[in-house]
């Protein structure tokens, strides 16, 4: 945890990578990406950057909330 945010994930090393990004002035998206990469290294059988998920993004300057879905696609033959 930092003074301005908190990282939550299964592996402490990945959480620390995300917190380091916040401490260096990165934003929540920067921290999430760093955390995902680190999580894939320390726990490769359970996580990977090429996986799927969703992310809610809130932009304080505009008051706008966006949602990103990045789910794996099935092949056309499926």
Number of independent structural domains in the chain: 1
pLDDT value for 57 = 85
Is 77 a member of any domain? no
Is 4 a member of any domain? no
Within a 13 Å sphere around the CA of 18, how many CA atoms are in the beta-carbon half? 24
Is 64 a member of any domain? yes
Is 50 a member of any domain? yes
- Find the domain containing 60 and state its range: 12-70
Is 23 a member of any domain? yes
Is 19 a member of any domain? yes
pLDDT tens string, the chain, 78 residues long: the values are 556 678 888 899 999 999 999 989 998 889 988 998 998 899 887 776 666 777 888 888 999 999 888 777 767 787
pLDDT value for 3 = 65
pLDDT value for 20 = 93
pLDDT value for 63 = 94
Is 2 a member of any domain? no
Provide CB contacts within 8 A for 2, sequence distance 6+.
Answer: 19, 22, 23
């Amino acid at each position: 945890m930092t003074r301005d945010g908190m990282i939550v994930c299964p592996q402490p090393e990945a959480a620390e990578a995300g917190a380091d990004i916040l401490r260096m002035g990165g934003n929540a998206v920067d921290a999430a990406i760093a955390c995902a990469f680190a999580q894939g290294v320390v726990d490769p059988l359970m996580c990977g950057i090429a996986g799927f998920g969703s992310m809610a993004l809130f932009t304080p300057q505009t008051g706008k909330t966006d949602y990103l879905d990045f789910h794996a696609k099935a092949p056309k033959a499926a």
